[in-house]
């Protein structure tokens, strides 16, 4: 299966919090969309890796993804090196995405910026014919995505464009809340975290309202370009 969009994430729930509305809006238009989680989020203070895996399955069903995979890299300790790059290259060449979405270039969690660089380097290297990889014993052809964009996470970064997700706001919140182990639960005895604050969902909504306001709609998600964006028609810009 060739994917139109493949979103990379350092942790399960990164994409949901930052770009789920954008993915669902494209799925609704008939595009094929997937998520590649780098780690199982096993260093998270709440829940467990196994629980987050089940939550990711529930979220994927809500978003109606075509595919979701997890590379099982070491949470907090994965590196931008040959071994990690090759594993990502195999996935890129397998699904041949036209567009790749990556973590924020800089953020509160150091894994986010690290994953952004690892993902962008892997996208470039995947296009080099002399790098050989195999899938199920067969040689893979080189593939480089046409475009890369970075979604915005905890830190409010200057954005280059905004996607209108007004029609998908409610489903985005359902996808986010599928990761119930990570968020506020008055009965939980696990440690409080940055995102388990009961006001955290208000913050998420406020961020989307701010992005939406900037383009004259109710809700939006902001993105940072990886390289200059070109258009053939000024009317493609809203």
Percentage of the chain modeled with pLDDT above 70? 100
Percentage of the chain modeled with pLDDT above 90? 92
Residue 8 above 90 pLDDT?
yes
Phi-psi region of 175 (alpha: psi -120 to 50; beta: other; left: phi over 0): alpha
pTM (two decimals): 0.95
Residue 237 above 90 pLDDT?
no
Residue 107 near residue 194, CB atoms below 8 Å:
no
Residue 236 above 90 pLDDT?
no
- The C-alpha atoms of residue 38 and residue 31 are separated, in whole angstroms, by 23
Residue 54 above 90 pLDDT?
yes
Token pair belonging to 143: 């593939």
Q: Which domains does the chain have, with CATH numbers?
A: 5-230 (3.40.50.10320)
Average pLDDT estimate for 170-179 = 98
pLDDT for 228: 92
- The C-alpha atoms of residue 236 and residue 217 are separated, in whole angstroms, by 17
Residue 9 near residue 35, CB atoms below 8 Å:
yes
Residue 34 near residue 69, CB atoms below 8 Å:
yes
Residue 105 above 90 pLDDT?
yes
Residue 40 above 90 pLDDT?
yes
Q: Which of 45-49, 60-64, 117-121 has the lowest mean pLDDT?
A: 45-49
Q: Give me the residues paired with residue 222 across strands.
A: 162
C-alpha angle 227-209-228 in degrees, rounded to nearest 5 = 10
Confidence at 23, pLDDT banded by 50, 70, 90: very high
Average pLDDT estimate for 36-57 = 96
pLDDT for 238: 81
C-alpha angle 149-44-115 in degrees, rounded to nearest 5 = 25
pLDDT tens string 127-145: 999 999 999 999 999 999 9
Confidence at 209, pLDDT banded by 50, 70, 90: very high
- The C-alpha atoms of residue 177 and residue 199 are separated, in whole angstroms, by 14
pLDDT, averaged across the chain: 96
Q: How far is CA 59 from CA 16, 70, 99, 165, 179, in A?
A: 8, 14, 21, 17, 8
Q: Give me the residues paired with residue 7 across strands.
A: 35, 101
- The C-alpha atoms of residue 179 and residue 128 are separated, in whole angstroms, by 37
Residue 170 above 90 pLDDT?
yes
């Amino acid at each position: 299966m060739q994917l139109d969009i493949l979103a990379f994430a350092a942790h399960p729930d990164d994409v949901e919090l930052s770009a789920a509305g954008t993915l669902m809006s494209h799925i609704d238009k008939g595009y094929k969309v997937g998520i590649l989680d780098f780690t199982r989020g096993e260093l998270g203070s709440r829940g467990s890796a196994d629980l987050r895996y089940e939550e990711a399955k529930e979220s994927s069903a809500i978003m109606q993804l075509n595919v979701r995979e997890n590379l099982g890299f070491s949470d907090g300790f994965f590196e931008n090196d040959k071994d990690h790059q090759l594993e990502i290259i195999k996935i890129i060449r397998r699904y041949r995405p036209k567009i790749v979405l990556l973590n924020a270039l800089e953020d509160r969690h150091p894994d986010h910026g690290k994953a952004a660089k690892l993902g962008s380097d892997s996208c470039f290297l995947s296009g080099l014919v002399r790098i050989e990889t195999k899938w199920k014993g067969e040689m893979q052809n080189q593939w480089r995505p046409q475009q890369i964009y970075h979604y915005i996470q905890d830190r409010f970064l200057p954005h280059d464009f905004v996607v209108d997700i007004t029609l998908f706001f409610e489903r985005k919140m359902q996808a986010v809340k599928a990761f119930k182990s990570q968020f506020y639960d008055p009965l939980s005895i696990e440690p409080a975290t940055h995102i388990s604050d009961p006001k955290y969902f208000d913050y998420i909504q406020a961020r989307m309202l701010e992005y939406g306001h900037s383009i004259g709609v109710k809700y939006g998600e902001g993105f940072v370009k990886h390289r200059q964006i070109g258009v053939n028609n000024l009317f493609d810009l809203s």
